[in-house]
Each structure stands twice: as C-alpha cells, then as structure tokens.
Amino acid sequence: MRNFSIFFLVAAAAASTSAAERPDAAALYQQHCAQCHGADLRGGNASSMVDGVWNHGTGTGSYKRNIKHGLTHMGMPAYEATLSDREIDALAEYISTAEADAGAVRPPIPDQIQTREYVIDVDHWVMEGLEIPWAIDFLDADTALVTERPGRLRVIKDGVLAPEPVSGTPEVLNDGQGGLLDVAVDPEYPAEDWIYLSFSHELHDDPEEKFQPAMTKVVRGKIRDNAWVDEQVVFEADHDDYIKTRHHYGSRIVFDPEHNLYFSMGERGMQEHAQVLDRPNGKAHRLHRDGSIPEDNPFADTPDAVASIFSYGNRNIQGMAVHPETGAIWATEHGPMGGDELNVLRAGKNYGWPVITYGRNYNGQPVSDQVAAPGMEQPTYFWNPSTGVCGLDFCRGDEFPKWQNYLLAGSLRYEDVTLLTIADERVLHAETIVKNFGRVRDVVCGPGGIIYVVLNNPDVIVRLRNAGEREY
C-alpha cells in the first residue's frame, strides 16, 4: 500500500512539473501572432486561422513549419531563433484546437472564379467515384482516361465516369507515394492507339523481406472492350537498381514534336544517385515510343551510363510539359523544404540536386551550402517555401486566347494552380487562378483549351471554362 501511494505521489509531482513547464500557448499567440491574425484568431492584417481556409498548407505539420521557418515572401518572419521547438509545437496545437472548436470546414468548390483577365465557370465535372486520381489525358474531345493511384485506369465519357475500371492493367505497388501514376495517349492516336502508363513496380525476389525493392516502370498497351491488352514494356530499370524506399517515383510522360517519349523518375530518396549516370533515378529519360534508345541521346555512348538518361540532378519531377511552339521540355520538381523548381530540360544537363538547392532538409538543416556551382543549371523559377508542385501544362486552344503558351502549374501543399506568364524561357508574372479547391495532382489544358484540374481531398475533377473577359 505504501509503495502504491509513493507511485501516485511521484506521478502527481511529475504531472505538476510537466504542467508547470508546458508553454503557455495562448500567451505565446497573443505575443507573437495576434497583431497580424487577430486576438481571437479571426484575422486582421493577415488571414483568419479559424475559417477553414489555409493558403500555405493544412494540419499541425504545416503550421509548425510555417511558424518555425516563416513565409518571408508574405511578410511572416521565421521564429526558429525566437521560439523553442516546444513553444512552436504548442502554438501549432493551440491553432489546431481553436480551428476545431470554431467548427471550421473547407469552403465548397465555387461555381465561378475571377482572374485578372477572365471570369471563369467552374464545372463540377466528376465529383464522385474516384479514389486518389493522379493524372488525366484525352482520347478525343469527349473521352478522357484517368489513373487512380491504388492501381485503376478509369474512362470518362461525356463527363460520366464509367462504373468499371479498365481490366487487366499492370499490378502496381500501392504504398507510400507509389501506385499507378501517369497516363499518356500516343501522339499519333488513333492511327497508333497505344496508351502509356507509368507506375511503381515491385519485385518479389525475397518473400521473407517486409519491403521488396521497387522502381518506376513505363509500359504501353491498348484498350479493347474496356480491357488492357497487347502490353509492351517501354522502360524497366535493371533489377539491381531497384530500391526499398516508398517515395519519389516521379513520374510524368510527355512527347516532343518528333514524338520521342520523355518520362521522369524521382531519386527515390537516394539523393546521391541523382548525380551519377549509372543509376536511373533522379533523372529525366528519353526513349523512342517502343522503348528503344535514340542514337542522339546525350549518354547513349557513355560507358556504364543508363542510355535513356536525358537530364540528371533532378530530385522528383512531377510536372512535365512541352512548349507548343518551341518543343522545349519544361518540368517542375519537388524540392525538400523550399526549393521547388521550374526547369527547361536540356540534353545532358545537370540540374544540381543535391549539390545545389534553394531548399533545406525537413529538419531545418541545410542540404547543401551552395545554390550555384559550375556545370550545374539554375532553375528558370523556384518556389520558397515549397508549394508541392504537381502537374504542369501549357495553355493552348481557343478557350483562353490571352493565355496562349502560358504555363499552368499545380501544387499539392498550397492547393493552387498558378498561371505563369512566359517569355524567352523566363517567368515574367505569376497569378494564382485556383485556390483551396483541394490538393492539385494534375492540371491539363484539354481539347479546345478547356482546363481540367485533378484534385485529391476531395478526389474530384473540375473543369474551367471561359465565361467572358473581366470588365474594369
């Protein structure tokens, strides 16, 4: 009985000490945040924290990063030198609790938005039946193909999602960031009716191991009576190069004006692999559509190099697009914490990861002390903090004539689509045209120039149509 009492005395003392040492989050908020975000968290010089609208990432993890490292481009300083990690954690929890207590919910996707040039109708195109849609491409003006990351290829006809997925598609590793990724229609379709898929491919060499090696793979096949047939391998890495990590697969597929195929492969978390030519990860690759190697590939004759490599030093490209006039390959890639990049990919060029970067590791420590180095390309544009860039396409067609050859860049973390004005491979202006609809997984300028935005959380697809020019 005596020992039992001592136990409770010790536990009570520990709890009392813990409570005494716990940061006063409410006081910290009033001292550091209230001047901008309002004493009641409902906004002032800066936005409300309890209205369900977050411009720079949702959840306590994002709140902690934003408090610690700041949003200096928005006028919010970094507090890593002012507040301890425990104080930052307490502040983030305080904000999350206040948001929950206020009953904050995400606003619904609107029916109309306004940009600097246009009023835009937002069609709620496919609003149910999808699970983590990842990419979209079009067979014709009325028929789209959509991948779902768990491993399904879906058909949308006249805005209606077919109830059954295409049968017989490749088995994918649906784990972490892996699964069924991009879909691309052959540039000579329907004469050449190939469909191309990229996905995370798992080996099963050692069933005793918990994690099997995996890598990004590209195949092509045809769809007959809603079945995947005639599959051919376009790219499969040497199995010795497969890795047991479950992130940074890439992967986007595009075709240049000569109809060569380009696809991206993330460095799979093995950042040093991005700088070596005998590994496929951390690269953009160039192939003929049947998987053969173009003779003029930059490393086709380099001993021990992976012959399909087009560019290297790329961390994790999840957006690729071909300029409608120049044919140049543009790409967006994820940085770590900061340093998301927009690049024009050129044959044989080194884009620097991880030797040079504008980002930091997720623990706040430097990846590198260099942002430039001889022989390494500078980004055309970069985002700091990271927005989680994902999905990229050029505007074309008749729907938005003032936006011809502008870039549409999606983002996961910031949940937006940015319209980038491009001239001479320089970004002249950036305008957010979609915000807080959900995590933007893909953005595509479809038939006629109508813009399609593939979202996660919610798992839907919306369509943007021109409702008229803005009047001033």
Closest to 319 (Cα-Cα) out of 290, 284, 279: 284
Q: Which one of 248, 273, 285, 334 is the catalytic residue?
A: 248
- Tell me which amino acid residue 313 is: G
Coil, strand, or helix at residue 224? strand
Instruction: Please report, for residues 119, 330, 331, 399, the alpha-carbon distance to residue 324 in angstroms, rounded to integers and kept in the order given.
Output: 25, 11, 14, 15
Closest to 379 (Cα-Cα) out of 419, 338, 413: 338
Let me know: does 253 contact 322? Beta carbons within 8 Å: no
Let me know: does 223 contact 137? Beta carbons within 8 Å: no
Q: How many helices (H) and strands (E) does the chain have?
A: 5, 25
Half-sphere exposure of 149 (CA within 13 A, CB side): 18
Let me know: does 353 contact 313? Beta carbons within 8 Å: yes
- Tell me which amino acid residue 70 is: G
**What DSSP letter does each residue of 273-339 carry, written as one string?**
GGG-TTS-SSEEEEE-TTSPPPTT-TTTTSTTS-TTEEEE--S-EEEEEE-TTT--EEEEE--SBS-
What is the token pair recorded at 299? Answer: 């490393």
| Polymer length in residues for the chain | 472
Distance from C-alpha of 437 to C-alpha of 146, rounded to nearest angstrom: 19
State yes or no: is 248 an active-site residue: yes
According to DSSP, the β-strands at 227-235 and 309-312 are unpaired
Q: How far is CA 332 from the centre of its chain?
A: 9
Q: How far is CA 289 from the centre of its chain?
A: 25
Directed axis angle between helix 60-69 and helix 85-101, to 10°? Answer: 130
- Tell me which amino acid residue 222 is: K
Phi/psi region, residue 377 (left: phi>0; alpha: psi -120 to 50; beta: rest), is beta
Distance from C-alpha of 38 to C-alpha of 46, rounded to nearest angstrom: 8
Active site residues: 248
